Every structure is written in C-alpha cells, then in structure tokens.
Structure 1
C-alpha cells in the first residue's frame, strides 16, 4: 500500500496547530484501536495513525517533514519501523534521560473506556443506560496522601524531591552523565514511612460507581460518547480523565443500515408484482403502506422518505429503501398449475419480448 501523507492520515491541513494534531490523533486512535475496531485493516490504520502523530507532534520532525517529506522525517527516527528518536537510542544504552516533568506537578487522570451493546431498535430510539464502573477514587482515610493519618509524606532524601537521580557511567563514547527515575521514591519525589492501611500508600482505592449515560437516537455502531471528568482521578490536584462509552449495535434480522439510511428486502407474490398491489411494509417507525405498480420486477427499489435513522444533529431522518423480491411458488395445486399453463399458452412470448429486450438478445444468440 502506498505511503500516505501524514496530514492526510490525520485528516488535517498543513496549518494545523499542535492541539488540533493531538485532538485528531486521539479521535482516530480510539476509532481504529484493534481491540475495538474489528475491520480487517484496523491494525494497519492504527499503526499508520501512530506513525503520523509521532512525526507531526514533534516540532523538529514536523519541520523536516514539511521541507523534505518522508526522507526528512526519517532523519529524526520517524516514519520507519523504529518509532523513536535519538533520545530513545540513548535510553537503550544508558537507561533513560532527557527532560522530565516535575513529579509534584498536577497531572490529568487516565481516560477510561466502556463498551455498551444495543439492540438495533434501541439505536433508533435512543435510551438512558446506567453502567457500573470500578474506578479509582481518592482514599478517604488519608485524603489521597498515601500516608497513615497523623503523618504525611516526606521529601525524598535521595533525589531532594526532584524525582530523578544522576548516574555517571563509563561508555565507549566516554564518561556519560545520565538521569533516571529515583530508585528510592520511584520518581514521585516523596517517600512514605508509614503507609495508609486502606490504600497501602497509593492514595487511591477502587470503588464501584454508577454512571448514567444518555444514548441519543440515531447513534451508529462504533461511535462513542465522551463523559468529561468521569475517568481516572487526577494526580497532585490535576483534573480527572474522561470516560469514553463505545457503542456496539447488534445486527437486525431484516433491516440494514448505511449511514442514516435503512435498506430491506420485501417479498411479494407473482400476482402482486404482475397486477400491482398495495402492501404493508415494516419500518423502524412502524408499518406503512407501499403501492407496488403492475409489472414490478425482482430488484425494483422503492424509497420511503423520512423512514430511516434519526439524525444525531437534530436534522431530518434518513430514508428507507425497499427492494422487492418476487417469490416463485414452490408447491402448487393441480389447478394452479393448470391456470399457469393456460396463461403461458395465451401469453406466448409476445408482450414479454416487447417489454424485455433481453429475450430478443437471447433468441439472437441461440439462432447462430
């Protein structure tokens, strides 16, 4: 498969901001995650999205890519099988390094994901679903500190609260000075001498929580609903993450959905198709009458306007398309057979030839 432009992969213009790049990546990564998306090429698309984000989210790699294309991006470790940069190479040999965040800085909590299964008709009408989650919340005993009540965490005496320690190593390139997470506080910058008996020093406990999700009418399979602040708890006073509810819609026995439209096959008798009839057709909004004109053929398609799926944005409903299937009887009485033979004798090929050019073509073919 030909390599696609990174901006095209993320659905962005070259003028896209860093925030727009991040937002597009997160949306597409969730959509094509192999654990959620069962399409055959989901894993390949997921990898392609990650590769594009790796380059465009880095200012230096992006500048090189904008100027020199894929070759420019590869100079900085992007766009190939190896997904890192020079920093990752040094990490492999010397145990990590580079810029690190303040361990005491507020950090956003993790995003959670939950899958809700719906019947087809529930996706038409929408519903309110109550889901049960087991999430991490701040420990009430220690108020999130992780320390036994009456005590508090202390500044790590090994790293001085920075969360990192400096290590000197002799390498083939000479003496190297490197930083890595503090081996005593594991990068937190703090140590707890007496841990909370409830959370065992983590500052968080798991708790079951009920969350009400309003699923709108017209939602489609694979779409997701974002509940802001319903994810994992923030760290050091940071905001909570979000909860993403992924919708899976079960297939219906007669209705098929394509975007906002619904399609179905409707059987009719030979007499109804030949003579014309008014038949009752099921839709997701209830049964309706459909006039089948005389001479209707198998595969003829009729449109029922406004009988499709509701719009998530509040617009008009989609349409329903009805494909007619003319049923040929398998078991007939002697009288029915007699009448059909009489009909065949009376009709012959005269009317059929005039209306169906295919008969003329077939006669010409066999006459050679």
Structure 2
C-alpha cells in the first residue's frame, strides 16, 4: 500500500496538527491488526501511523509537501551521502536545492543522518510508552469489566513543570555542541566518508546549560509517582491483546505529547470452557438412556443456561453447535458459537434392578457378557 499521506488519513492538505491526530486515532482503531478483519490491516495500520508521524512534524511535512509522496518515499530508500551536506538526494530535482543552510537540512538529517540541527530544532521530545499487565478471568472477558490499576510511573515534576531547572536559572549555550544539541563525527572508511550524528552528552540534546537544577527532580524534569488508573476492558477481548491508554505513559518534554500506557491482557483458563478465538467448547455429560432415547438438555453458557435438543442415538464424543452462544466479537456485532461435546457417562455402580435390565438388554442384542462380581458386591447383592 503506497497512498498519499493526506488521503491515507482522510484529511485535507491544510489540516492542522489536531485534525491529523484525531484522524489518525480513528484510522488506527479501524485498522489495528488485533481487531480488524481487513486482510491488509497491518499494512494499512503502518501507513496511517507513518502518515501521522510525518504530517505532525513541521519540517517533515514541509519536505513532504515540497517533494511529493513518491519522491519522498524514494528519498528514504535511497539514503544520504554525507558529502551532500543536506542537499536533495536527487541532485536538486523538483526545486529542493539544498546548499548549506537549506531549510530542509533538519529533515534530511533525520532521515539520512546528515549534519542538520539538534533536537531543539526538531521540537520537544514526546514521552515514551509504558507497559503494564492485567489478568482477568473468562467471565470478565465475556461481559467486559472496569478495573483500577496502580502503576508507578514517571510524572512531570510540578516544581519545575518538567523543565528540570528553576524558572529564574541562568542559561548559556552548550559549548559541547554550540547549541545544536547534537555532535557530528566524520570517519573515513573503505567505502568513503561516513558521518554520524549523536546526541550531545553534555547538554543531553537541549543545546542549553543552566546554572541550577530543580532540587525535586535533580534536573530530570520527572519524578516517580504511584498513580491509580481506571482501565475499561471491552467485552470479547482475547488473551495477549493490548489496550492502549492514551496519554497515560511517561510525560513528554514541555510542549510535547505524553506517551501511552500499553496494558497487556491475560485471560485465565476456565475450568468449564475452552476458548478458540470467539468460539467456546464445553463438555456435557449424559446418561446412557439419554444418549439412546434423546432428551432436552440444559446446557451451561457464560450467560446462563440454554436448552439443547439431544437426538436419539447420540454417540459419546459427538459435538453440537449452538450458534451465537460463544464470546462477543471484539468491537464488532454478534458472538461466536458454543460447541457442546457430549460425553456418555458409564455408571460405576448399579443396583440389582439396573444390572438385570442391562444384562437383559445385552442378551436381547445377542451379546455374551461374562458378568463378574467382586466378593463384597456378591454379599451386597445377596442382601
């Protein structure tokens, strides 16, 4: 799938960042591989994710609009020669130009490792995603549930509002990177000159040093705190699926979005039911007469009991389908099916009348059975 990023998200070319993010959330929910039936869901999900990343980055969007979709993707695949110093990898085709000081230096540095500006020029860094785990039982997965989860996570420091330094601290340009936030190292290799860009260790990519650090967060901008989060688990969720809690992850730098909390769901095995996708399997015991003559059975489901007609002459191990009595389909209509395995139970104890009737049944069918009684059973029958 190679589609214009604006078309992929369904937004106009003058859409602002908020419109793009809102469109992305809608498309991501539609194409997420865990919930979508579309055979190309994974590829479409990756495409809308990439579209959002490019169109919400000011420099990347400017380059994309200038180059067009096809040339932009080709530029990513083509790579970047450090000797071009940030120039258009297609040699200036399409009006990119690109000598020293090109307005697109930063975007080519991001994609090709060239020598553009540091993190400060690319905007504040968003928060990283955090992970947690939640275990529920099969009934919770059937009906859905609300849970409170306590997590210890980094939280933006309230003392310095995440800046890592007092508001009145003196600021100066980092001497290690001249305020760029990054350091560039050029090496000569058998394949030519290779340019490597790394985050400046002195200012950690800020480009600025401050005379004081925040006493509560030691300049990190975040502190570890215990938080209680409400988790809404939808009905039909499967073991191993992940819920994304928007904005509940680690805080971003001031002006950037917070990360998300990814909650991996574990569904405990159930003693009564086996689950296969949206279908359930249950074993239902029946007596020998029920199997021979048929009966109206009361079958247990996760949503109460239902009636099932057991045909005459049912064999042990036969399976019957009860449509729509399985698990709810996640974010879709309807339910899976319930498969009922019939197990004919052989009695391990019989009274004399039952024994005589069964022996007569065997004889009527021409079966010769050597019925042996134990010592205590003989005494019991004689009494």
Report the Cα offset of residue 315 of structure 1: 1.2
Structure 1 equivalent of residue 232 of structure 2: 214
Q: Does the Cα contact within 8 Å between 1:146 and 1:192 map onto a contact in 2?
A: no
The answer for the alignment partner of 1:343 in structure 2 is 361
Please list, as runs of the form range in 1=range in 2, the aligned pairs for 1:179-328 lying within 5 A after superposition. 179-328=197-346
Q: Which moved more, 1:280-289 or 1:327-336?
A: 327-336
Structure 2: unaligned runs, 5 residues or longer? 9-23, 36-45, 51-71, 80-112, 368-383
d(CA) in 1 for partners of 2:185 and 2:209?
A: 20
Q: Assess if the C-alpha contact under 8 Å between 2:134 and 2:265 holds in 1.
A: yes
Q: 2:119 aligns with which of 67, 85, 103?
A: 103
Q: Show CA shifts across 1:116-171 (max 9, x none).
A: 11011111111111111222222111222211453154321332210123556687
Distance 2:195 2:266 in 1: 52
- Please identify, of 132-141 and 113-122, the stretch whose mean Cα deviation from structure 2 is larger: 132-141
Q: Distance in 2 between matches of 1:177 and 1:275?
A: 83
Q: Aligned partners of 1:114, 1:122: CA distance in 2, in Å? A: 18
1:136 and 2:160 aligned: no
What is the DSSP-based 3-state SS (H/G/I as helix, E as strand, rest coil) of the residue aligned with 1:287? strand
Return the offset for 1:248: 0.9
Residue equivalent to 1:114: 132
| Whole-angstrom CA distance in 2 between matches of 1:177 and 1:260 | 52
CA shift for structure 1 position 345: 0.9
Q: Distance in 1 between matches of 2:314 and 2:194?
A: 84
Query: In structure 2, how many angstroms separate the alpha carbons of the residues matched to 1:61 and 1:150?
Result: 43
Q: Secondary structure at the match of 2:119?
A: coil
Question: Any idea what SS the aligned residue of 1:338 has?
Answer: helix
Per the normalisation by structure 2, the TM-score is 0.63
Q: What SS does the corresponding residue of 1:342 show, helix, strand or coil? A: helix
1:127 and 1:216 in contact (8 A); partners too: yes
Asked if the contact 2:142–2:328 (Cα under 8 Å) also holds between the matched residues in 1, the reply is yes
Aligned to 2:374: none
> SS of the residue aligned with 1:282?
strand
Query: Per-residue deviation at 1:275?
Result: 1.6
Structure 1 Cα separation of the partners of residues 364 and 186 of structure 2: 103
* Cα distance in 1, alignment partners of residues 191 and 340 from structure 2: 74
Q: CA deviation at 1:290?
A: 2.0
Return the offset for 1:98. Answer: 3.9
Return the TM-score normalized by structure 1.
Answer: 0.66
Structure 1, unpaired ranges of 5+? 1-12, 32-48, 65-96, 350-368
1:146 is aligned, of 153, 158, 164, to 164
What are the superposed Cα offsets for residues 187-233 of structure 1, whole Å, 9 maximum, x if unpaired?
32122332111000111112222211211112111222222222221
Aligned equivalents of 1:323, 1:139: Cα separation in 2: 58
Matches of 1:258 and 1:282 in 2, distance apart? Answer: 17
1:325 deviation in Å? 0.9
Is the contact made by 1:145 and 1:153 (CA closer than 8 Å) also made in structure 2?
Answer: no
Give the deviation of 1:99 after TM superposition: 4.9
Query: What is the DSSP-based 3-state SS (H/G/I as helix, E as strand, rest coil) of the residue aligned with 2:301?
Result: coil
Residues paired across the two proteins, number: 280
Contact 2:321 2:338 in 1 (8 A): yes
Q: What's the CA shift for 1:339?
A: 2.0
Mapped to 2, the partners of 1:256 and 1:179 lie a distance apart of: 53
Q: Secondary structure at the match of 1:257?
A: strand
